[in-house]
Every structure is written in C-alpha cells, then in structure tokens.
C-alpha cells in the first residue's frame, strides 16, 4: 500500500528540492545528448535518465560531511551531491575549466570539497574505495558515513563480496546502494545471476538487505535515512537494492534496443520517477502545475548557462598533459617521467 | 654501532612513523598478531592495537582499494601484499585507481599510500611465490617504485615512502630479512631519485637492484683483488631513477652491467639502458649488458632455480668477461 506524501512528514521546501534536483539531472543529461549529437563532445557519456530518484533520494539523506562514491554512470550522483554544473559540463567537453581540468572526463568527475570520491570507469572499483572511507571514519571516530553506488552487474564482481564482507566484519559505516537497472551493458542480469534480488545476498554477510522501488524518490530517501542513522550509531553497513531502469542505452552510442524487449521498455518508461513524482505532488495538492512549470524553466536556464560556459571555455594547454601526475610539495623534486 | 636485522629495521621504520603521526595505519595479511610473514611488524599490533595494525581477510584487490579510500579521506595507510606475485591480484586498484586518481581528478586528490611487498628468488618457493614484478608497476605512470638493498637503506627509504604524499610501491627482499646489518640509531631518511655509489671504480659500472646491489658489491670486491676496478651503484629507486649518477659513471667507465632479479624480457634493465642511451652512447666501449632472471617461470628445484637467477658468481664472471674482452679488443 503506497504511502501518502504526508505520511513522510516532509516540508514543502524539501519536496520542492527533491523535484528540482531530479529535474536538474534530467535536463543536464538531455543537454549532454544534444552536445553529443552536435559533435561538440569528445568521447562518450553514460546517461542516468530514468534513475534520478535514486541519486536524489540517497543524497538528500546525507550531510555535507559524508562521502559519496560513484560509477561510470555518475552524472546523477555528482549533481545530486551539489556539484557545480558549469564545471561538470566543462569537464565533459574536455575543457580547462572542468572539474578535472579536462583530464578525467565524464567517467572520472571528482569533487573532494563535496566528499565526492569520484565517478569511476571500472565497474565495482568504487566499492572498496568507499569501504576504505568507512574504515577511515571508524578510525578517526567521527559520525560520518560513506555511501557507494554501483549497478546490478557490479554485484557479481569480487569487489562487492570482499568489500561488504570487510565492512560487515568490522562494522564500518558504509551504505551500499545497488541500482538494479536489469542490464550490464547488454547482458540481462537475470540470465547471469541465480539470486532473484541483489539484496538477497546481504544475508550471506550478516547485514540487512532492503529492496525498494528505485523510482520512488520518497521511498529511497526514507530507507536511506534509516540506514544512515544505523551507520552513524556504529551498527554497521546496509545493502539497499533500488529497482529501476535506464531509459536510454548503456552509453550515448548505444540505443539500448536490441537487447531489451519493447514492451519491457515501454512499461518502465511509464514508471518515470519524475513524471510520477510531479503527478503525486499535484494530485496530493502540494504544488500547482504553474508552480512546477516555473521551476522547470528555472532549471532549464541553469543548464543552458552551464552549456554556454562549457562551450565558450578554452581547452587545456598542451603542457598540462604532463602535470598532476604526482603531488609535488614545496621542495622541488626531479621526477623522471 | 648496533646490529639489527633487515626485518627489525623495517619494523623500526613503521614504528617510528606511527609514533610520529597518528594517521599512519597498516593493513595486510598476518601483519597483526603474527607480526608479519617475515617478522616485519613484530610487536606493532601489541603496541598500536587492532585498528592501526589490521589483519585483513584474503581479499587483496579490495583491501588495497580500502587503503586507497582511507588515503583519500585523511589517513596515511601502509598496505602489505605478502608477495609481489600477488600484486596482480590487486592489479586494478594499484594500476587503474591508486596510480591514476590524482591525474584523473586534475590534481584534486593526494594519495599518501605505501604498498609494501616482498620479492626474492632462492628459497624454492616456485613460480607463484618468487617473482620480482617491479617492472609491471614501474610501467604505470603515477607510482613511485622503491627497492632498498641493506637494512639501513630499507629503513631510510621506507620512512621516506610513508611520508611521501604519493603512492609508493616498496619492495622488500626475502633473503634479507634475517641478515644482520649495522644500522645507526636516530632518524634516517633517504630521498628518492638519488642512487648510492657503494664503491668507486674506473673499469666498469655495475648497477644492482635491491639485493643484487649487495651481490654486485661482493663480486666487485673479489674482482678488485684481480685488478679489476668496478664502480658499484645501488639504484635505490626505479621511479624516479637517478639518471645523472648513472650517466656520469658510464661516461667515466665506458661499460655498463645492470643486474636485476625481474624477468629479463621488458624488465627495468631494458628501461635503464634505453633511458640513458642518448646521453652515453658515444661513451660506450661495449654494448650495455644485463643479468636478469631468465624468461621462464621460476622452477622449484634448487638446481633449476640457481640456473635461472642472477647470482654473485654470474656477476663476477660477466664483469671479468666484459673487461677482459674489451682489453683484448
């Protein structure tokens, strides 16, 4: 039985924030498609369209002190964490003004000021790293938490099992968020995994495993909040499986059609997290259609500005290719490259 | 001067750095209660407790990744991989993550992480527990590669590695752990990228890596009695490596032999040779030569193992041959 919005006891401001953050991600990703199609973008990006409720629901349950580790499909997490949209867009276009001075690109966006330990191009590589942040928290005796996002396919990787085992054994404050969108590129998770739900694996490590509708932002927020409280109290990790679906292909050059049945895709498009949350807000009388359109326009403008910033930004100088390999302190070191 | 073992010197380095900085922690298999596979962490678990000296499960890739996560969030971890053969198990975290995250982030991150591991032929531990895989990690931009020879060198270089704000892979040698050496009391810090001339000479330059520096010195002392005057260099660090010291030496002697326990194919001897080629080509009397482990998996039986590994005897014979051939020519 689905809860009413009022059962969550959230302020109107907070509800507005949830919607706005999801819209930010959606419009950002749409803009990325536009830039890619116009030939302005080098390389590829892995779009988060359809999964917005997870990034926003989870990140809204955290404080600024917490750590977030992401994946190759990381734009959603990075935006939900409050990243600078200009620097993100510039990074995706390989410009000097990007987060990583154009050296990382879409898959490696990092913002250490926001505790964002990075998007990562290797599937499941972020899981041990986030677990290490959890170890550091426990060692330093703060009440921070470390959250890691990963996909269904990553849960078949050794890192998932090794990391959760250590976090469970040592009661580390890590929250493992599995975004189960049913496919690892083109491979249907159901064909390569014998457990029905990823969260079913939690019991093998003696930790709680929770399954939620990943397209219901309120559900995601609520469950994450509970896991965060637990972790801060020193009660150890939780595995949260969010059922979801990506609207687009694996990356920009993959239509995502040949390996996914048309009726399955259509069914999931109906479950769009943004469309459905908007509808609920209007139906349950939290906002009017006009109020929502106004917000949508505001966010579209933000994204347009970010794109303009990125397009007009310069590329890095050639000599910059040789910088930032090592941290060099005040004493000049001779480094043989 | 007091005498301690190489293992004790390593332990002292870790102990001193832990005392100095409470952000230094260590993780690895058997480093806690057992005190290390070779005694390298004897007494540290009792002194610093289980959160600073952590016995891990057998999960190399993930506990090395865990060390990276801790390094990114305020700690200064040392992580031990028992044998260098197991570096490849943690290959992704070492080569794709630790080495690269600073660059990929455009300089936003610092990775003050030391990976300690062990190399060394000569104990019949066979193909999967005897390798010296330093060439693999030297190949990857973003790491620093350190290979000490004696106990004092190990202590001084490990302390520098721990204080270094970049990822370091530190290679300890199995045959050295029980060897006793004179090690001065007090602080020892040896910088990276500065080779050590163990013996000066004019006839030939011999560069030895890790324990092979000691073997090269022994062989050279024998040769000195026969009137052959070898300059022996302990390279200390592969990345960065001290080009200037090597170039000056080869300009003087005109002959270079590099001795390395890694496999010969694509090993660091090849890299050193090419790396200085431009500067010393016209100073060479002979082509550069190398003695490395042969290109076969390391065999178990002692007779076979000795056949394929660098030894003091092989160094002695080769230097003699190089110098005498050159004299005849």
B77-94 pLDDT tens trace = 999 999 999 999 999 999
Average pLDDT along chain B: 97
Q: Which segments of chain A have a pLDDT < 70?
A: 1, 330-337
Q: What is the mean pLDDT of residues B268-274?
A: 97
SS3 (DSSP) at A74: coil
Q: Are B189 and B148 in contact (CB under 8 A)?
A: no
Judge whether A327 is closer than 8 Å to chain B, CB to CB. yes
* Selected residue of B22, B27, B69, B72 to mutate for chain A interface (largest A Cβ count, 10 A): B69
Q: What is the mean pLDDT of residues B32-44?
A: 96
The per-residue pLDDT for range B279-307, each reduced to its tens digit, is 999 999 999 999 999 999 999 999 999 99
Predicted model pTM:
0.96
Q: Are B66 and B27 in contact (CB under 8 A)?
A: yes
C-alpha distances out from residue B224 to A157, A217, A267, B219, B312, Å: 57, 79, 84, 9, 14
Q: Residue B329's pLDDT band (boundaries 50, 70, 90)? A: low
What is the DSSP-derived secondary structure letter of residue B98? I
Tell me, what's the pLDDT at A331?
44
Polymer length of chain B: 329
| Cβ distance of A99 and B106 shorter than 8 Å | yes
Chain A residues 64-103 within an 8 A CB cutoff of chain B: 67, 69, 98-103
Chain A: closest CA distance from residue B68 (Å): 6
ipTM value for the complex: 0.96
pLDDT at B325 exceeding the cut of 90 = no
Tell me, what's the pLDDT at B327?
80
Tell me, what's the pLDDT at A1?
61
**Helix, strand, coil abundance in chain A, percent, nearest 5:** 50, 10, 40
Residue tagged active-site, from B12, B17, B60, B176? B60
Tell me, what's the pLDDT at A335?
41
Reply yes or no on whether B60 is catalytic: yes
d(CA A159, CA A151): 12
The per-residue pLDDT for range B123-166, each reduced to its tens digit, is 999 999 999 999 999 999 999 999 999 999 999 999 999 999 99
Tell me, what's the pLDDT at A316?
98
d(CA B48, CA B42): 11
Reply yes or no on whether B306 is catalytic: no
Cα torsion B62, B66, B71, B73 to 10°: value is 140
Residue B295: Cβ-neighbour burial (10 angstroms; 0-12, 13-18, 19+) = exposed
Tell me, what's the pLDDT at A329?
75
Residue A6's H or E segment, with its range, is none
Share of chain B above pLDDT 70, in %: 99
Tell me, what's the pLDDT at B58?
98
């Amino acid at each position: 039985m689905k809860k009413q919005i009022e059962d969550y006891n959230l302020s109107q401001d907070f509800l507005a924030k949830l919607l706005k953050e999801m819209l930010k991600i959606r419009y950002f990703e749409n803009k990325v498609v536009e830039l890619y199609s116009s030939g302005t973008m080098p390389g590829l990006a892995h779009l988060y369209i359809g999964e917005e409720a997870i990034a926003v629901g989870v990140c809204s349950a955290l404080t600024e002190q917490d750590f977030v580790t992401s994946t190759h499909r990381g734009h959603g997490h990075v935006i939900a964490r409050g990243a600078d949209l200009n620097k993100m867009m510039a990074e995706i276009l390989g410009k000097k003004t990007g987060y990583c001075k154009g050296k990382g690109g879409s898959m490696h966006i990092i913002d250490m000021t926001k505790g964002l330990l990075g998007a990562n191009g290797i599937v499941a590589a972020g899981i041990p790293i986030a677990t290490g942040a959890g170890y550091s928290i426990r060692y330093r005796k703060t009440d921070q938490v470390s959250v890691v996002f990963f996909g269904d396919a990553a849960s078949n990787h050794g890192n998932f099992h090794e990391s959760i085992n250590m976090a469970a054994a040592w009661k580390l404050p890590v929250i493992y968020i599995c975004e189960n969108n049913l496919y690892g590129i083109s491979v249907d998770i159901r064909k390569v995994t014998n457990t029905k739900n990823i969260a079913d694996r939690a019991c093998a490590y003696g930790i709680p495993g929770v399954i939620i509708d990943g397209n219901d932002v309120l559900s995601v927020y609520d469950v994450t909040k509970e896991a965060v409280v637990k972790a801060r109290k020193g009660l150890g990790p939780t595995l949260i499986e969010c059922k979801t679906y990506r609207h687009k292909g694996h990356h920009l050059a993959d239509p995502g059609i040949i390996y996914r049945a048309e009726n399955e895709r259509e069914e999931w498009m109906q479950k769009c997290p943004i469309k459905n949350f908007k509808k609920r807000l209007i139906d349950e009388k939290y906002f009017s259609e006009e109020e929502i359109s106004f917000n949508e326009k505001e966010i579209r403008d933000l994204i347009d500005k970010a794109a303009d910033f990125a397009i007009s930004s310069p590329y890095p100088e050639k000599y910059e290719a040789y910088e930032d390999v090592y941290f060099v302190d005040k004493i000049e070191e001779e480094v043989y490259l | 001067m007091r005498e301690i073992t190489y293992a004790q010197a390593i332990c002292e380095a870790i102990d001193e750095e832990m005392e100095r900085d409470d952000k230094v922690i260590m993780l690895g298999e058997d480093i806690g209660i057992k005190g290390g596979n070779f005694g390298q962490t004897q007494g540290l678990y009792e002194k610093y407790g289980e959160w600073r000296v952590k016995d891990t499960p057998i999960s190399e890739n993930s506990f090395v990744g865990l060390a990276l996560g801790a390094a990114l969030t305020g700690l200064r971890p040392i992580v031990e991989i028992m044998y260098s053969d197991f570096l490849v198990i943690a290959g992704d975290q070492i080569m794709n993550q630790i080495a690269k995250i600073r660059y990929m982030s455009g300089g936003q991150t610092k990775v003050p992480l030391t990976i300690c591991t062990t190399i060394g032929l000569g104990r019949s531990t066979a193909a999967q527990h005897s390798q010296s895989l330093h060439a693999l990690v030297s190949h990857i931009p973003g790491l620093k590669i350190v290979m000490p020879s004696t106990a004092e060198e190990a202590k001084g270089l490990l302390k520098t590695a721990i204080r270094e704000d970049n990822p370091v892979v530190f290679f300890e040698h199995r045959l050295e752990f029980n060897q006793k050496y004179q090690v001065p009391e007090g602080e020892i810090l040896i910088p990276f990228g500065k080779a050590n001339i163990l013996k000066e000479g004019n006839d030939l330059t011999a560069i030895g890596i890790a324990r092979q520096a000691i073997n090269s010195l022994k062989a050279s002392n024998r040769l000195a009695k026969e009137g052959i005057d070898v300059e022996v260099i302990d390279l200390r660090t592969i990345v960065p490596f001290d080009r200037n010291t090597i170039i000056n030496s080869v300009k003087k002697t005109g002959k270079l032999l590099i001795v390395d326990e890694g496999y010969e194919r694509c090993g660091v001897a090849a890299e050193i040779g090419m790396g200085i080629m431009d500067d010393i080509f016209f100073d060479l009397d002979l082509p550069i030569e190398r003695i490395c482990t042969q290109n076969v998996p390391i065999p178990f039986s002692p007779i076979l193992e000795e056949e394929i590994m660098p030894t003091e005897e092989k160094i002695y014979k080769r230097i003699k041959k190089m110098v005498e051939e050159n004299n005849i020519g």
